[in-house]
Amino acid sequence: MADLQRQLTEKLNILLKSTNLLLTEKQKEQLIQLVLLLNKWNKAYNLTSVRNPTDMLVKHILDSIVVSPYLQGQRFIDVGTGPGLPGLPLAIINPDKQFFLLDSLGKRISFIRNAIREIGITNVEPVLSRVEEFKPNYQFDGILSRAFASLKDMTVWCQHLLTEQGLFYALKGQYNLEEVLLLPNEFSVVKVIKLEIPELIGERHLVLLKKC
């Protein structure tokens, strides 16, 4: 385990050099802990199709944290978070922001609760619910979605959770104009950002949307 942890730390440092992200040593350690926990739990709970811990660094950790510079506000909800992606990595590197991680599968929420406890993350609230049934008495500055649903479904299912000035953050592979054309009239695209993720094969885009 110590050897794997050292290898992952070296790899993370190499990957981060190709980005503009500045992380503390503690944040790096927590991200590595998250990968190790994902790797451990994945064997029994099949949380992700990515099996190699080094691949997890690229496809899960870097793929999540590159969104960080674009977050506006203090309170965010990650809908359809799966094993906490992108919510857990973003929470680790943004300790001043609050993240709610929502999923309808108990085993995923169990993993997230365990990760929060073992890693020592204090700004995450797990939510076991379907998104359309989650009716909190507060709203969010941002709604995050990574491979959760189409832009249309994301906006329709989640609109009750967003503040008036809030943004939808849809993490996508290729940018699909047909998806945008299917958006209801009350939503519009604010910006499309091409994300650069070191060593990742394939395109990644961040689509920012708002209520009109």
Q: Which residues lie below 8 Å from residue 196, measured CB to CB, with a gap of 6+?
A: 18, 19, 66, 204
Question: How far is residue 144's CA from residue 154's CA, in Å, rounded to a whole number?
Answer: 9
Eight-state DSSP code of residue 49: S
Question: How far is residue 50's CA from residue 42's CA, in Å, rounded to a whole number?
Answer: 9
| First-last CA distance in the chain | 50
91 to 78, 155, 191: CA distances (angstroms) = 11, 23, 23
113 annotated as belonging to a binding site for a ligand: no
131 annotated as belonging to a binding site for a ligand: yes
Question: How far is residue 136's CA from residue 91's CA, in Å, rounded to a whole number?
Answer: 20
85 annotated as belonging to a binding site for a ligand: yes
10 annotated as belonging to a binding site for a ligand: no
**Binding residue ranges:** 80, 85, 131-132, 146
**Binding residue ranges for S-adenosyl-L-methionine:** 80, 85, 131-132, 146
